[in-house]
Structure 1
Amino acid sequence: MRISFSPQERRLVPDGFAPFELQPGQKVRFDFQVKRAGLLHMELDGSAAARSQIRYAYTSDERLFPSLYRCFEDEAWVAGRFPAYVRMRPYGQLDQWLSGEEGAYLLEEDLTVLRYLELDNRSSEPLSIRRLWLDYTAAPFQHVGGFECNDDLINECWAMGTYTVELCSQPSKYTQRSLQGPYSDYVIWDGVRRDKDIWGGDLRPASLTALYAFDQPEIVKNTIELLLTLQHTEGEEQGIIPGSGAYGQIFYEWTMWTIVNLWEYVLLTGDLAYLQANVGRLCDVVAWMNKRMESDGLISGLNSWMYSIDARGKISGLAMAQKAAWDALVQMFSLVKHPMQEYCRQQAERTKRSILAQFSVPSNPLLTMIPAGTKDRDRFAIDGNLWAILHDVVDPSRGEQILQEIEKQFWTERGSINVVPVFDEAVDGAWWWDVLPQQSAVWRHNNNIWPYMSAYETLASFHAGRTDRGLEVMRRVGRSHLEQGHKTYWEMMNLDGGLPIGDRGDTLSLTHAWGGTGSYGLQAYVAGIQPLAPGFGNFSVTPSLGSLDWVKAEVPTPHGIIEVEAERTKSGEIRGTVKYPDQTECQVSAGMEKLRG
């Protein structure tokens, strides 16, 4: 039976809740069992004087309560590079709740994100709590896509990925900056608690999971549209797609991934009309890229997604995203028969040549983080190396060598770190950005584990035909979350797998949509369901089970559901069936039987 962490009902009540009286001096903790997001209500009876002396605090992890308690004495306690809680107040007194009808109170008009709620009666009066509930606000998706196999942990990892994306799919009116798109009332955020915003690079992998699992592709289109609508139309950055919806941030890498995101949306949905409507915007981006490219075709960036690492100029991660964007532009211009396609093809090849020339060093298959030899010692970042495999910058032989080297240098029991060798203050000096206090910056990307890159490592392993390696990456990261009671992928983990809590109680996002991409990978690579034409009008099924005994998977398409079952026989062959809609064509690997209709 397929695992799901989505709630069965939209109105949720804490586990075991029953009406009761909270006595003076009594403290009680409620548990919704799984992290949820929505509008939190309480129906109660008590005097205003008592409510002003009854404290509440809520969080998604019990270990964060001490930090919240500190906030009662010091309002500035929870601090960091970004606000730990965006448009949320996770601690306070009951008299701060908003009055409702018939004794019902609403905690906050914006979303409340929590698993645990604690009440502490510091008054001299009892408080009668009649009802407590949360109206779940995540987009009402149907999980028409799915994945199962004989490995229970992998099944939980798939469910974690889809639930993380679901929980980050929220009404657009709750976004930091109200962003109402034309195609849906919902958008996909990167984080449901902290950022509450659309970020281009975060959206790209989350979109793949959403399109392979859920029945509403409109939310992906709507979220992409909001970024495209904010495209800069004047000034030095005319043509760039902003990195974020709320801030309109200039972030070159995220512009590139938004272009890739648009292509993948068109490929998976067949929405050629939307592509045609955006040709002008794409031409504007090409004009911006032409303006920014240096003599070798590479664009120098202002930063990496690893924002606390001082990497500016030519960065391998940005260069790989640039190559992926050129490839996506080739595909899109080809579909609409636009003459720009050949130019983009030439730029894709030029970018590839420059990447290999700029970021390669002798006797090491890994690509450097910044151009080789420009610092006292070369560093190798995991992002550029994984994207080099996924976007065919390196040949299969070198790709295999890169994966082997990542195992040697980047792997830990909990997942892979971002950079080797890690930064050391004594050797490297103050490598963090000047705008960041040392205590807020140095712990975030140096020698820690990010599910964003873990998901890409899973995909790169699958893409290279290393199914078991990709599954092992998923197990390490997924196990770290599940063992601590979390069903959502965090933004970042400490090296030991622990919570990313700073030295002033600030914490990174504990539900970050970009970490769930491995779920898409299980359907697309392990079950092997991939489009060969826009909208799955023609598609292939080539299961790659690794050491798994069997898999079952479903993928939604504009024509209907594709269903795949495959198992390993005693002789080691893969046998199975593919059920697919009448209007489509299917190509299968040996041993797979086609069942149309």
Structure 2
Amino acid sequence: MDLPWLWLPHDPTDSGSVARLARFRSEFTWAGASGAALPLLITAVHRYRLFVNGTLVAVGPLKPGPADWFADTVDVAPHLTTGGNVLALEVLTYREDVPGNASLRRGAAPGLSVSGPLPGGADAADALRWRCSPCPGRTFLQGVNTVFLGIQERVDATLEHHGWLDAGFDDRAWAVPVPAPRPPGDAAMCVLPRPVPPLALEPCPWAGIARTRGDDPGWEALLGGRPVTVPAHREVEVDLDVGVLTTAFVSAAMSGGAGAELTLTAAECYEGEPIDLPWLRRKGDRTDARTGDLHADPDHYRVAGHGSPDAPELWRPFWFRTVRYLRVRVTTGDEPLTLRGVMLTRTGYPLEVTGSFRSSSPLHARLWETSLRTLRNCMHDTFEDCPFYEQLQYAMDTRSQALFSLHISSDDRLVRRAISDFAASGHPEGLTRSNAPGIIPQVIPGFSLFWVFMLADHLDHVGDRSFTRPFLPRVHAILSVFDAALTEDGFVLSPPDRPDTHPDGEIWNFVDWTDAWRASRGVPELGERRANTILTFQYATALRSAERIADACGEPGASAEYRARAEDVIARINASSAWDPSTGYYRDSDSGVPMSQHAQVWAVLAGAISGPAARDLLCRAVGDATLTRCSYAMSHSLFDAARIAGAHEVVDWTPWQEMLELNLTTWAEDAVSHRSDCHGWGSVPLQHFPRWVLGVSPLSPGFASAGVDPVPGDLRFAEGVVPTPHGSIAVRWERDGAGTVRVRVDAPTSIDLVIPEGSTGVSWSQRDDVQSMDFELPHHRDGSPSGDRIERDGEAAGR
């Protein structure tokens, strides 16, 4: 779409700021009309916030892709009142000559576009409807902890536009905006409608007070939204507790206190003095306010003193914060300052969760709840690795998060966006970038394979071949790179690591965050040839995923080729020096001693070893203290491999239980650096419980057929709901006193159900569009899913 763009006639840039903020406002009168709509089309370079009569209504636009910009449609009518109204926008634009926000593609020119009907037949695109001004006194900083974000603020409110959100504000000194070059200065840019829903915005209450310093002016009042007055010439501090970690916009309202300094510090937890900011931390009990402290990047505000009880002075930091504790520090001058409120507005992707899980284990309930909270905090306009530190979408992280979300919700829009983001990144005839969208030219070779896994997962769960088919050339391009790196003796050779200072971008052969690989930044020892066993198995696994994708998309020739290539890779690697007969393990490379669980896990996932041998391999590997252990990130792969091999006893939730015992309310990034307390790749229960404990899996694209093959373990019962494109599959199973496990499944009749071979007591009924199946699991089962099918009423209930 071709949009009109506006900007300031004069745009001074503060050289000390990584970004600049501009303001636009328009006043008009509205008579009110029942059921009327006033949809505005809005976009900006790079971020905007829309206020209607002082209320935050929308934030955007969506992070742009390599060639696409996005515009939002916002209906402002529900927020208008009869009489005078104010539309107000803040636009944040990052500079090109400083890092700023690494997840936002840079534009050569700033710009705002607003169009749509206004009362009286006016069009919001008319520049004469608006007044605009730079935002003086506000500096955006990169931060020490948030090194990829550039969202920290230092504000001198004596230079601010107080009351600019209100009707009657005198904006005569503001300029009329002028036409802007077509941002981002790229003639090939395509502006598209927003493909995912807008961020949710909802009030978030405080749970309590964790700690205070200095005289207490009555901080408890803030918890109930009542004012607190700090006398003149005081320095006081309070740590407000959200109760759980969340992502939220922060704001403060105040009156009086001219010249006072207000500092807000949003932190994930209490911790010891960091070892190496921001990468290496000392963390224990996250609620230990007695021996720990809040180590995070502060925002600073110098109070103007213009506020009154009826019209308080407002400070609204532009972007959301990831916060469990918020430190409010007030240093007053000659006047007392009255804080009239410190508020949170929770934000995130509005994922509609329709999946559920419950079992006889009280721990499972906590694992499920914490996993869901973690995943939600890592979903905004893309999936994110960690919302506090980076807000970047990385391929391995996103594959896990996307798969978790597909097990709990039918909303796959963010998954589609992620698949498209990575497909469009990197070289058209080669690997994808490790993160997308964004400006970091970094390649992690294995992450391109995780993009293939993500594409296959989406096809399995959603079955939209028309969406999947256009990505086949990218799949082929990725796999061709690995095929070219395959040696005669069966190893994929990893390219040399390249630093992020290289003009062509960084190459980083990351596998996992483990203590053994800390010094090498998650890269195993690859030997002189850089023969990479783990990457070879991942390549073979991706070939099998590509085989399924091509077959489902009507490309039988490509499917057969991928199958043959996978079998060839496995035959070669199994005949190579990757296998160490003296220990019965796979090596990480072509020489040396076996070093990791990871090589064993991916051998099972690739099908290089199966049956009792695979079970023995994983049981030994998990119990072997000499092997590098899989982290939270790789546990998803470990647990899947364990179930496939029938080694269900190696599934161990102890690391997650230990996090709960340390009072985390979201899952940590890793146990090595202890950097982030919120990372979506740890939400493994969201996939594991539905897939393996309830036993529900798609056996053909889009759940045309579904397996129901529970692995009870030592549980007495489990029940839950798994969403599919056809409707939900509900499963409940229970173990009786004799040890028999009875299973009940309710599912749409459009799904062919597959249950374990040897099941007894099978009955089937139908009511309307819902089929119900009851059966008893075979007594002899060892916990490994069979995948076999049975006959239902004389018909094959299989794939």
Amino acid at match of 1:317: I
Between structures 1 and 2, the one with greater helix share: 1
Residue 131 in 1 paired to residue 345 in 2?
no
Q: CA RMSD in A?
A: 2.8
Q: Is the 8 A contact 1:297 1:347 kept in 2?
A: no
- 1:50 and 1:510, CA in 2 relative to 1: closer, same or farther beyond 3 A? same
* Cα displacement (A) at 1:283: 2.7
Measured in 2, the distance between the counterparts of 1:203 and 1:459 equals: 17
1:462 is matched with which residue?
Answer: 643
Secondary structure at the counterpart of residue 265 of structure 2:
strand
2:403 is matched with which residue?
Answer: 208
Provide, for residues 391-410 of structure 1, a one-character-per-residue CA deviation record: whole Å limited to 9, x for no partner.
Answer: 32212222222222233324
Q: Return 312-321 or 522-531, whichever deviates more.
A: 312-321
- Match among 464, 471, 488 for residue 666 of structure 2: 488
1:5 is matched with which residue?
Answer: none
- 1:284 and 1:310, CA in 2 relative to 1: closer, same or farther beyond 3 A? closer
Measured in 2, the distance between the counterparts of 1:583 and 1:96 equals: 63
Amino acid at match of 1:55: T
2:691 is matched with which residue?
Answer: 524
1:182 is matched with which residue?
Answer: none
Between structures 1 and 2, the one with greater strand share: 2
- 1:288 and 1:542, CA in 2 relative to 1: closer, same or farther beyond 3 A? same
Secondary structure at the counterpart of residue 443 of structure 2:
coil
- Match among 480, 495, 515 for residue 287 of structure 1: 480
1:405 is matched with which residue?
Answer: 620
* Cα displacement (A) at 1:107: 5.0
* Cα displacement (A) at 1:265: 0.6
1:432 is matched with which residue?
Answer: none
Residue 311 in 1 paired to residue 510 in 2?
no
Amino acid at match of 1:459: D
Structure number with higher relative contact order (C-alpha < 8 Å, ≥ 6 residues apart): 1
Q: Is the 8 A contact 1:578 1:595 kept in 2?
A: no
Secondary structure at the counterpart of residue 687 of structure 2:
helix
Following superposition of structure 1 onto structure 2, how do residues 368-447 of structure 1 map, counting pairs within 5 Å?
368-373=587-592, 378-410=593-625, 420=626
2:563 is matched with which residue?
Answer: 345
Amino acid at match of 1:21: V
Measured in 1, the distance between the counterparts of 2:346 and 2:762 equals: 41
Secondary structure at the counterpart of residue 27 of structure 1:
strand
- 1:421 and 1:284, CA in 2 relative to 1: closer, same or farther beyond 3 A? closer
* Cα displacement (A) at 1:275: 1.4
Measured in 1, the distance between the counterparts of 2:695 and 2:680 equals: 23
Measured in 1, the distance between the counterparts of 2:441 and 2:685 equals: 28
Provide, for residues 303-335 of structure 1, a one-character-per-residue CA deviation record: whole Å limited to 9, x for no partner.
Answer: 232434463422222112101110011111112
Following superposition of structure 1 onto structure 2, how do residues 492-571 of structure 1 map, counting pairs within 5 Å?
492-494=670-672, 500-501=673-674, 508-571=675-738
1:121 is matched with which residue?
Answer: 330
Q: TM-score, normalised by structure 1?
A: 0.78
Measured in 2, the distance between the counterparts of 1:486 and 1:449 equals: 20
Residue 34 in 1 paired to residue 244 in 2?
yes
Residue 362 in 1 paired to residue 566 in 2?
no
- 1:404 and 1:291, CA in 2 relative to 1: closer, same or farther beyond 3 A? closer
Amino acid at match of 2:650: R
Provide, for residues 63-99 of structure 1, a one-character-per-residue CA deviation record: whole Å limited to 9, x for no partner.
Answer: 26x55xx9xxxxxx734499xxxxx9731433399x9
Q: Is the 8 A contact 2:578 2:586 kept in 1?
A: yes
* Cα displacement (A) at 1:294: 2.5
Provide, for residues 232-276 of structure 1, a one-character-per-residue CA deviation record: whole Å limited to 9, x for no partner.
Answer: 12xxxx321221112242211001111111011111101111111
* Cα displacement (A) at 1:226: 0.3
Q: Is the 8 A contact 1:200 1:243 kept in 2?
A: yes
Measured in 1, the distance between the counterparts of 2:591 and 2:279 equals: 33
Residue 298 in 1 paired to residue 298 in 2?
no
2:471 is matched with which residue?
Answer: 278
* Cα displacement (A) at 1:592: 6.3
Number of matched residues?
Answer: 502
Measured in 1, the distance between the counterparts of 2:763 and 2:678 equals: 39
2:391 is matched with which residue?
Answer: 196
Measured in 2, the distance between the counterparts of 1:592 and 1:566 equals: 14
1:243 is matched with which residue?
Answer: 434
2:657 is matched with which residue?
Answer: 479
- Match among 209, 218, 225 for residue 413 of structure 2: 218
Amino acid at match of 1:57: T
Q: Return 215-224 or 280-289, whichever deviates more.
A: 280-289
Q: Is the 8 A contact 1:12 1:135 kept in 2?
A: yes
Measured in 2, the distance between the counterparts of 1:392 and 1:594 equals: 35
Q: Is the 8 A contact 1:21 1:126 kept in 2?
A: no
2:77 is matched with which residue?
Answer: none
- Match among 427, 443, 449 for residue 232 of structure 1: 427
1:426 is matched with which residue?
Answer: none
- 1:168 and 1:569, CA in 2 relative to 1: closer, same or farther beyond 3 A? same
Give the gaps of 5 or more residues in structure 1: 1-7, 71-76, 83-87, 172-186, 411-419, 423-447, 495-499, 502-507
Measured in 2, the distance between the counterparts of 1:81 and 1:223 equals: 29
Measured in 2, the distance between the counterparts of 1:421 and 1:383 equals: 9
Measured in 1, the distance between the counterparts of 2:524 and 2:590 equals: 14
Secondary structure at the counterpart of residue 188 of structure 1:
coil
Q: Is the 8 A contact 1:201 1:258 kept in 2?
A: yes
Provide, for residues 338-381 of structure 1, a one-character-per-residue CA deviation record: whole Å limited to 9, x for no partner.
Answer: 222222111111221233223210132321112233xxxx2421
Q: Is the 8 A contact 1:162 1:519 kept in 2?
A: yes
Measured in 1, the distance between the counterparts of 2:561 and 2:303 equals: 60
* Cα displacement (A) at 1:206: 1.4
Residue 14 in 1 paired to residue 206 in 2?
yes
Measured in 1, the distance between the counterparts of 2:341 and 2:618 equals: 53
Q: Is the 8 A contact 1:491 1:510 kept in 2?
A: yes
Measured in 2, the distance between the counterparts of 1:592 and 1:406 equals: 38
Identity %: 19
* Cα displacement (A) at 1:586: 0.9
- 1:280 and 1:390, CA in 2 relative to 1: closer, same or farther beyond 3 A? closer
Secondary structure at the counterpart of residue 147 of structure 1:
strand
Amino acid at match of 2:703: F
Provide, for residues 532-562 of structure 1, a one-character-per-residue CA deviation record: whole Å limited to 9, x for no partner.
Answer: 1111111110111111000002111111011
- 1:592 and 1:295, CA in 2 relative to 1: closer, same or farther beyond 3 A? same
Secondary structure at the counterpart of residue 114 of structure 1:
strand
Measured in 1, the distance between the counterparts of 2:687 and 2:650 equals: 16
1:335 is matched with which residue?
Answer: 552
Measured in 2, the distance between the counterparts of 1:587 and 1:546 equals: 20
1:93 is matched with which residue?
Answer: 300
Q: Is the 8 A contact 2:615 2:646 kept in 1?
A: no
Q: Is the 8 A contact 1:162 1:213 kept in 2?
A: no
Residue 78 in 1 paired to residue 277 in 2?
yes
1:256 is matched with which residue?
Answer: 449
Measured in 2, the distance between the counterparts of 1:320 and 1:488 equals: 31
Secondary structure at the counterpart of residue 635 of structure 2:
helix
Larger-gyration structure (1/2): 2
- 1:562 and 1:457, CA in 2 relative to 1: closer, same or farther beyond 3 A? same
Amino acid at match of 2:544: D
- 1:515 and 1:543, CA in 2 relative to 1: closer, same or farther beyond 3 A? same
